Amino acid sequence: MTSFLAALAAAMWAYDGWEDLNRVGSEIQNPQKNIPVALIGGTLLVALLYLVFNAVCFYALPFAGVAGSSHVASDVVATFAGAGAAKWITLAMVLSALGTLNSSLLSGARVPYAMARDGLFFRVTGIVHQKFRTPSGALVFQGALACLMALTGTFEELTSLFVFAAWIFYALSVVAMFRLRKIAPDLPRPYRTWGYPVLPALFVAGAIALTLNIWIERPVRSTIGLAMILSGLLFYRAWANREAASPSE
C-alpha cells in the first residue's frame, strides 16, 4: 500500500490541472454548467490519455526499460520510428509543458492578487499592469518564489512537496463543505455533490492517506513544507488584524 500511494502521488501531478480552473471561476460564463462539464470532461480525457500512454509504453518496452528510462516517451518512439522522431517527440513534450505552465501561472497568480486586494497579503501582489491589465505584481512574486523553490531540490522532491501541500488543502476544502452543510443549510447551492456524504468522506480519507504516506516517505521536506503552511496562520492573523484596524473606505 505504501508503494501504491507513492506511485499515486506522482500520478496525481498529471491530473492537477483541474484545480486551476477553480481559481478563475469568476471569469467563466454560465459557471453552474460549464465548470462541472470542464472538470469532469477534462479529468476523464486526461485519464484516457494517461492510460493509453502507459499501455503504449509497456507494449513497446519491457517493465525494466520503462522503470529505468528518464525520457520514456522518447525511448518508446525510438523503438519504432528512430532517434530522429524521438527528438521531435521530446520537443513536443517541452512545448506541451510550457503551455501547461502558462495556464498554471496565469491562474495561480489570481490567489495572491485576490488576497492582496482584501488586505490579507503583500500589497505588491495586488498591483495590476497599467497596459496589459494583468496581475503583474502577483506574477513577479510567483516567479521569484518558483525560482527559489527550484534551487532547493530535484523535480521529484518538488512535485512530492507540491502534492503533499495541495492535497492537504483539497481535503480541507471538502471538510469545509461538510461544515457549511451544517452551519448554513439554507445557503444557495448551484452545485450538487454526487454520493454525499459517502463520496466526499472517501475523498477526505484518500487525501489523508496520500499526504501521510508522502510525509513518511519524505519526512524532512514534508515537515518543512507543513511548517511553511502553518506559518501562514501567523501572517494571516497579522494581516487580518491590520485590515480590521484600518479605517473603512
Q: What is the pLDDT of residues 181-219, one digit of tens each?
A: 999 988 888 777 889 999 999 999 999 998 998 898 888
What is the model's pTM?
0.79
**The predicted structure's pLDDT at residue 129:** 93
> Looking at residues 84-104, what average pLDDT do you find?
85
How do residues 150-193 score in pLDDT, each as one tens digit?
A: 888 787 788 778 888 888 999 999 999 999 999 998 888 877 78
Per-residue pLDDT, 139: 94
What pLDDT score was predicted for residue 175? 95
% of the chain with per-residue pLDDT over 90: 27
**Beta-strand runs (E) in the chain:** none
Q: At 126, is the pLDDT very low, low, confident or very high (cuts 50, 70, 90)?
A: very high
Average pLDDT, integer, range 40-45: 90
Once rounded to an integer, what is the mean pLDDT over residues 139-154? 89
**Mean pLDDT score across all residues of the chain:** 87
pLDDT for the residue numbered 107: 87
Confidence of residue 248 (pLDDT cuts 50, 70, 90): low
Whether pLDDT at 12 is above 60: yes
Q: In this predicted structure, what is the pLDDT of residue 144?
A: 93
> Taking 80 as the threshold, does the pLDDT of residue 249 lie above it?
no
For residues 211 and 5, what is the distance between their CA atoms, to the nearest angstrom?
Answer: 9
Range 72-83 average pLDDT: 84
Does position 10 have pLDDT exceeding 60, yes or no?
Answer: yes
- Listed as own residue / partner, the contacts of 10-15 with beta carbons closer than 8 Å and 24 or more positions apart are 10/156, 10/159, 10/160, 10/163, 11/50, 12/163, 12/167, 12/210, 13/159, 13/162, 13/163, 14/46, 14/50, 15/43, 15/46, 15/47, 15/50
Helix, strand, or coil (residue 39): helix
Q: What is the mean pLDDT of residues 107-112?
A: 89
Q: How far apart are CA 70 and CA 143, in angstroms?
A: 26
pLDDT of amino acid 247: 66
